[in-house]
Amino acid sequence: MLSSLMSMTISFIVPMAVMLIASTLSKKMMNDREKSSPFECGFDPKSSARMPFSLQFFLIAVIFLIFDIEIALILPIIIIFKSSNMIIWTMTSMMFIIILLTGLYHEWNQGALKWAE
């Protein structure tokens, strides 16, 4: 009990100390509007310094994340094949794959998979 309490205390104090030291030793102490604005020879900028965020890139990133998680969910299905009931395993696997294919069809139908546009 005492060792777990001591471990929890240390795991709380050490990150707090590191964050405190990092914030005091950081180069940028003051963050005002003039220092964070883009500099163009003393004149006001002609256009925004930040590029607009592409919604197509966001959709591709979300689709990649979804398929990445799906693969992480499909791999254990193969591993539990030997230790489970064959009928339940088949029904669960087919239901999961049908849901994935339905989602893919919906994304394709909505035009989210059109890369060049």
For residue range 76-100, what is the model confidence (pLDDT) as tens digits? Answer: 888 888 888 889 888 988 998 898 8
Q: CB-hemisphere CA count at 13 Å for 7?
A: 4
**CA-to-CA distance for 36 and 53, rounded, in angstroms?**
20
Q: Give pLDDT, residue 17.
A: 93
For residue range 17-56, what is the model confidence (pLDDT) as tens digits? Answer: 998 888 888 766 556 666 666 665 666 656 666 667 777 7
**CA-to-CA distance for 68 and 65, rounded, in angstroms?**
5
The model's pTM is 0.46
Q: Which amino acid is at 107?
A: E
Provide the pLDDT confidence category of residue 116 given band limits of 50, 70 and 90: low
